[in-house]
Each structure stands twice: as C-alpha cells, then as structure tokens.
Structure 1
Amino acid sequence: MATKASENERADAIRWIQDQMVDYGLTMEELEAAGCFDPPPPPAPVRYRNAQGMSWDGQGEMPDWLRRAVNAGQSVEFFRVG
C-alpha cells in the first residue's frame, strides 16, 4: 500500500501532467498515438561483467570500470559474459 507521502506525490504528478496536457493542447489519443503508453523495451542483455557485479551491455560509451581495466592492460574479452 502506498504511504501518505507517496499518495500526495502521485496526486501532484497527475495534476502536473494534466496541466501540461492543457498547456500544450494534448489529448489522450495523441499521447497514445505517440507511444506514451507502450511498454518499455526489454533491457539489453549484459555482455560484460566484472567481479563486483558491474555490467555493461556493450552499447554506447564504455563504462569507467571497464575503461580503467582496459587501460591497465586487461583485455575487454576477459569480462565478456557467455
């Protein structure tokens, strides 16, 4: 069950969204057509992981933990999962 504070925050968020819809003249149909209610895509599978459990999916910029290891001479393939 939600706490009183979270219920108030939720009500504030709903009012803010309603205000934004009025300010921009948006309808529920437009938001739905824009994909606002589609489920989020599944997370990308983990491709690299270190002993501390830090992981990276191989997309985007290499994370600091992996960049430091590679700069220290470790092969990126050492951290490949599966």
Structure 2
Amino acid sequence: MDERKRDSMVAYLRRRMTEFGIEPDDLAAAIARDQIQQKSTKYRSAAGETWSGEGEMPQWLKQAISAGQSIEHFAVNGAAPSAPTARPGVDWSQDPFAGGRLATVQLSTSDTR
C-alpha cells in the first residue's frame, strides 16, 4: 500500500473512531483481549467456534469427531490434542488381503463399469 492510501485510511479510521466515541486506549484493550484469546485457542472450527482444550469438549467438536473427523483437523498452530481419543482399532495382522495385491490395486474408471 502506498503512503497516500495509508494516510487516507488512517484519517478515515480516526474519523470513524471519533464518530463512535472510541478512544485509542479502548482499541488497544480490545486488541490485547483478542491476542490473549488467540493464544489460549487450541481448536477452531470453520465457523469460527473455538475451544481452549480445557473443560468439557464443546458440542461442535464432539459432533465433528463422532462424524469421523480427527481432532487434529481443528488444531490451531499445530496444537496437539489435549487427550488422545481412543478409536476402535482393526487388527490387520489377521486380514488375508492386507498388504497383498488386492489391497493395493487402484481401479481405473474403465474398470468400475
């Protein structure tokens, strides 16, 4: 952004702040609160819902996990899950096709007809 556009934007923001009675200290306090909340946020949904990882897991996250989504998908800044979720495992050691040709063959679109 060039200097003239920047100065114009600053003047506009100052005028609007005066119009609504917002002081620079109010703005600084709001920014500080937002930064504190962002630091404590470990999980965020696409809709903007957040969870710090403390207390009971929120409903939006419970529903996503029960639908098959991993908690890591919602992690903010590489946050690790607060408690590993136990997923029912499958014992592939007894599967006769595991690692075999049938398990690794990719079907082309012509093979699926």
State the TM-score bracket (shorter-chain normalisation): 0.3 to 0.5
**Structure possessing the higher relative contact order (Cα contacts under 8 Å, 6 or more residues apart):** 1
TM-score between both structures, scaled by the size of structure 1: 0.47
Q: Give the greater-gyration-radius structure (CA).
A: 2
